[in-house]
Amino acid sequence: MPKVSNRGIATPASPIRKLVPFAEAAKRDGVKIYHLNIGQPDIRTPRVGVEKLRQADMEVIAYSPSAGTQSYREKLVEFYGRQDIEVDPSQMIVTNGGSEALLFTMMTCMDSGDELIVSEPFYANYNGFAKSLGVVIRPITAKIDNGFALPPIEEFEKLVNEKTKAILICNPSNPTGYLYSAEELEALRQIVLKHDLYLIADEVYRDFCYDGTVHHSVLNLEGLAQHAIVVDSVSKRYSACGARIGVMMSKNAEFMQTAMKFAQARLSPSTVTQYLAEGLVDTPDSYFDEVKTEYNERRELLVSRLSAMEGVVCPTPKGAFYTFVQLPIQDADHFCQWLLEEFRHEGATLMLAPGTGFYSTAGLGKNEVRLAYVLNEHDLNKAMDCLEQALKVYPHRVNTVSHDEISAL
């Protein structure tokens, strides 16, 4: 029997999707599943984009240019200009989702054996892409105790060596919702310049910032024209995950010319959904105002409910639409599977993403889970009812101190 590749064996399964078979089995039995495991918003996709797609006159659905259509890239120049980010079409490659942008970026920046510094917990696919390419992730561990703030810059310095090629951040963070401050980005800027590294920023969630906070793009950091790379996508901004349209941007001409080789090899991004994405750029500000208000209300509800549960530690996220929490359990993978296989509350259960898959360091995340607040408030409350009851009856719950005792520490 032929053998599969070592690369395939080394690539981890998605912690977000690996429990799908258990969820499907529960659904076949008539169980209602509240999906908090995946960042699939229930917000309506803006009609301006859908109408643009409907009006597209395409007698032949042909390949687009490998970099994406000129008209869409010009619309992106307008969009980023409104964000005070100056780019031109030659500094962009449109991709089949943000995932392809991440993959092309790693392929362009790093060879097998090179090292990438990432603050963990991180988006699980960073690990998957890195392992599939033979890139070594060197993690800097952020702690739940201080809301997953960026560890001291000295910790980054300790990991830099001759194999280090880049630092990768997600801002705001998936999975923690942490938003990097201007001071933290400045610290990263200094270390990148000192050691001549790339700074890769996944800025997919830039539009979701709360409590008066502001997002800062690495493309606006002084002196990083040859170092900064941004990955972005329409998926979350416009609730258009199925469109699979992303973009990678850099002012480093050599980087972009090299990345274009990979873009040409896969031929082109989807011609059809670039029409949709082009229309989405004209989404009015009122849409984002309403969406941000909705997510903020969901965030406050979720944090309030979780914080009231005995033994649960829940930092307040400042961005994106995730929270990463500690539960009074020993094995998140077992707990999340148990929820789907054995637990029922009023004919329903919920699906979470186990924390272990968001770390590179073995043994971390065992008592943590990621929750996506992408459901309406009624369903979020029902999901929290399920979780609260589940924690009371879970046979492997661990003893914890009370919230009052935690506050007194």
Per residue in 120-138, pLDDT (tens digit) is 999 999 999 999 999 999 9
Q: Is residue 261 domain-resident? A: yes
The DSSP symbol for 92 reads: E
Q: Is 82 inside any structural domain?
A: yes
Among the candidates 226, 247, 280, a domain finishes at 280
Asked if 85 and 315 count as a contact pair (C-beta separation under 8 A), the reply is no
Q: Give the lowest-confidence range in 51-65, 97-111, 236-250.
A: 51-65
pLDDT of residue 402 exceeding 80, the answer is no
In a shared domain, residues 90 and 141: yes
- What is the β-pairing status of strands 32-35 and 348-351? parallel
CB 301 within 8 A of CB 380: yes
CATH code, domain carrying 37: 3.90.1150.10
Last residue of a domain, one of 228, 261, 280: 280
* 170 & 149 share domain: yes
Say yes or no: 291 and 156 in one domain.
no
Question: Which residues, in sequence order, are CB contacts of 136 under 8 Å at separation 6+?
Answer: 113, 114, 115, 116, 130, 163
Judge contact between 230 and 250, C-beta under 8 A. yes
Q: Is the CB of residue 268 less than 8 Å from the CB of residue 274?
A: no
> Rounded to the nearest 10 degrees, what angle do helices 332-341 and 20-28 cross at?
20
265 and 338 housed in the same domain:
no
Mean pLDDT of 88-115: 98
At 403 the pLDDT is 39
1 inside domain? no
Does residue 383 register a pLDDT over 60?
Answer: yes
Q: Are residues 138 and 26 in the same domain?
A: no
Burial zone of 376 (CB within 10 Å; 0-12 exposed, 13-18 middle, 19+ buried): middle
Q: Is 302 exposed, middle or buried (0-12, 13-18, 19+ CB in 10 A)?
A: buried
Q: Is the pLDDT of residue 19 over 90?
A: yes
Sorting pLDDT into bands at 50, 70 and 90, what band is 399?
Answer: confident
From the list 102, 80, 103, the residue with the least C-alpha distance to 91 is: 80
Is residue 50 exposed (0-12), middle (13-18) or buried (19+ Cβ within 10 Å)?
middle
Look up residue 345 and give its DSSP letter: B
Confidence of residue 14 (pLDDT cuts 50, 70, 90): confident
What lies within 8 Å, CB to CB, of 121 at 6+ separation is 142, 148, 175, 176, 324, 355, 358, 359, 364, 365, 368, 370
Q: Which of 401, 403, 367, 374 is nearest to 144 (CA)?
A: 367
CATH code for position 229 = 3.40.640.10
pLDDT digits (tens, 9 = 90+) for 322-365: 999 999 999 999 999 999 999 999 999 999 999 999 999 999 99
Q: What is the mean pLDDT of residues 219-241?
A: 97
Domain count, the chain: 2
Least confident of 3-7, 141-145, 222-226, 260-264: 3-7
Residues 153 and 32 in one domain: no
Claim to verify: residue 227 and residue 253 sit in the same structural domain: yes
CA distances from 351 to 31, 236, 372 (A): 12, 20, 10
**What residues make up the domain containing 232?**
47-280
Rounded to two decimals, the pTM is: 0.94
**Which sign does the torsion angle of CA 202, 200, 14, 334 carry?**
negative
Whether 141 and 248 share a structural domain: yes
| The pLDDT of residue 365 | 97
pLDDT at 400: 62
- Nearest CA-CA partner of 93 in 251, 279, 272, 282: 251
Q: E strands of 1-107, at which residues?
A: 32-35, 92-95
Phi then psi for residue 247, to 5 deg, are -155, 145
Residue 115 has pLDDT above 90, yes or no: yes
Q: What is the pLDDT of residues 303-326, one digit of tens each?
A: 999 999 999 999 999 999 999 999
Final residue of a structural domain among 223, 249, 280: 280
Q: Is pLDDT above 50 for 406?
A: no
Whether the predicted pLDDT of 15 surpasses 90: no
Average pLDDT over residues 140-165: 93
How much is the pLDDT for 58? 85
**Same domain, yes or no: 362 and 383:** yes
Residue type, 184: E
Query: Rounded to an integer, what distance in angstroms lies between the CA atom of residue 330 and that of residue 258?
Result: 46
Q: Are residues 98 and 214 in the same domain?
A: yes
Asked if residue 95 is part of any domain, the answer here is: yes
- Do the domain assignments include residue 385? yes
- Any domain includes 14: yes
Same domain, residue pair 111 and 191: yes
Do 135 and 177 sit in the same domain of this protein? yes
Question: How many residues appear in the chain?
Answer: 409
Q: Which of 50-54, 218-222, 309-313 has the weakest average pLDDT?
A: 50-54
Q: Packing angle between helix 70-82 and helix 271-280, nearest 10 degrees?
A: 30
